[in-house]
Amino acid sequence: MFAPPAAEEAWTAASWPVDEPAAPPRAMPGFAEAANHVAEFLARPIATAPPPSADAGATAADPPSLPFPSTGPHGHRARLREKLIGRGAEALADYELLEMLLFFVQPRGDTKPLAKAIINHFGSFAAVLAASQRDLFAAPGLGMHGVAAIKLVQAAALRLARAEVLSRPVLSNWDRLMDYLNAILARERVEQFRVLFLDNRNHLLADEVQARGTVNHTPVYPREVVKRALELHASALILVHNHPSGDPTPSPEDVEMTNEVREAARILSITLHDHVIVGNGRWLSLRREGLL
């Protein structure tokens, strides 16, 4: 039952202290400030995405339905992928190829500065792929995952080149053989002596490193070359080594060693087809020079 008004007034008056006035209601701390911030935000004009920059690699206008489609590394990554698929790898600059490779290493962020820095450090994209693991680890910014990705691409490229050499007789596929030898030797910093062992149809049986040396000398033992040819049942040989100086001109020692291998192989009816010296982007055939 509700109390009559007079009794309610009496209880209310008795409940308050006679010497203190009633405190007014208090507002929530910070509420007014938050309300002002919200009002200011809603009053701002809606920002629009800036148009794609001319050097961003875009090939088509971004879909207008996407918010901010052209900003940030993720939009740039999408444009590079579209450029690769739509126009082919030839449309990409060297740094863009490395930049895209680093996408798989760094899921977030802009990889363009790192890609350009790495190419500047080594001189070219090809030099990056051919660089030793030690040199790659010494380059700032790569780390284990970056080095592994680069060496994986190099290994894939070399296996593709080698498969093309294996598919046809070596002597009738000379240009591709030179491409393969340049890929594996042109940027080596020390001399490396390799032997291509061929069957009686001149198909490649094996490509093996016989020795590694210094920047200007590799010890070669003709008896070891011939011994390995017998083990593989090879009928012919092509000798290959590199000159880290970049100049493929043969030294007198190169010519002398070639003749020693030829004589050792001839005794066992094994033919020495040629001795190729690989420089930096250049190569020389001793047979074509009349030195074999």
Exposed/middle/buried for residue 153 (C-beta within 10 Å: 0-12, 13-18, 19+) = middle
Pair of tokens at residue 89: 């790898």
Where do the domains of the chain lie, and which CATH numbers do they carry? Answer: 74-158 (no CATH), 169-285 (3.40.140.10)
pLDDT band at residue 237 using 50, 70 and 90 as cut-offs? very high
Mean pLDDT of 205-211: 90
Q: pLDDT confidence of 77, banded at 50, 70, 90?
A: confident
pLDDT above 90 covers a percentage of the chain that reads 36
Amino acid 61: pLDDT = 45
Predicted confidence (pLDDT) per residue in 150-204, tens digit? 999 988 888 887 887 777 788 778 888 888 898 888 888 889 999 999 999 999 9
What percent of the chain shows pLDDT beyond 70? 73
The pTM of this model reads: 0.59
The answer on pLDDT for 36 being more than 70 is: no
Q: Report the DSSP pairing between strands 204-212 and 236-242.
A: unpaired
The phi, psi pair for 31, rounded to 5°, reads -65, -45
Rounded Cα distance, 157 and 186, in Å: 15
Q: How far apart are CA 157 and CA 219, in angstroms?
A: 29
Residue 217 has pLDDT above 80, yes or no: no
pLDDT at residue 91 in the model: 87
pLDDT tens for 131-153 read 888 899 999 888 899 999 999 99
Tell me which of 7 and 78 has the higher pLDDT: 78
Q: Mean pLDDT score of the chain, rounded to an integer? A: 78
